[in-house]
Amino acid sequence: MILIPGQQFSKTFTRLRTMKPESKLWQKVKKNTPKIQWTRLESWSSYGTPDLLGYHDNCGFFMVELKIATGKKIHFSAHQKLFHLTRKQRNFILIEEASSSSIKLYQSSSLLGLLADYREVPSLAENDWTYIERLLIREPLDA
């Protein structure tokens, strides 16, 4: 929970607000991918733009869309669909299953399968933050 200063109901009680699931996923990404310089983008600034802009000297810039899976289909706005269908290089989709907290990394080119049933789409990586980070920054996998 996050304490919101200055928003008090009385002198002794302060309002508490819980973090949204996507915000919790963002915190996990930051914590578990220390080699990447991240910027979280505000979705209202440009519709369809992925949530995260990542940078590493090995590969330059790349983008990651964060999604929480609550059913078999992943929901994308029309703007997000257009972005991922037209920009397939160095753009990724990171999904966390709400029920199990399982993490899966997909390429943007997997979008159409994710719309139907993400469980049937092969992921690039699953539940391995070190491997996910290496894929994102194009680090040699045998190093």
CATH of the domain at 95: 3.40.1350.10
pLDDT digits (tens, 9 = 90+) for 31-88: 999 999 999 987 666 788 899 999 999 899 999 999 999 999 999 999 999 988 888 7
Residue 15 has pLDDT above 50, yes or no: no
Q: Are 128 and 136 in contact (CB under 8 A)?
A: no
Residue 12 Ramachandran class (φ > 0 left, ψ -120 to 50 alpha, else beta): alpha
Total domain count for the chain? 1
Residue 93 falls within a domain, yes or no?
Answer: yes
Residue 5 falls within a domain, yes or no?
Answer: no
Q: Are 114 and 74 in contact (CB under 8 A)?
A: yes
Domain that holds residue 128: 19-136
Token look-up 């973090």 returns 19
Residue 4 falls within a domain, yes or no?
Answer: no
Residue 50 falls within a domain, yes or no?
Answer: yes
Residue 125 falls within a domain, yes or no?
Answer: yes
pLDDT digits (tens, 9 = 90+) for 97-135: 998 989 999 999 999 999 999 999 999 999 999 999 999
Mean pLDDT, range 15-19, rounded to an integer: 57
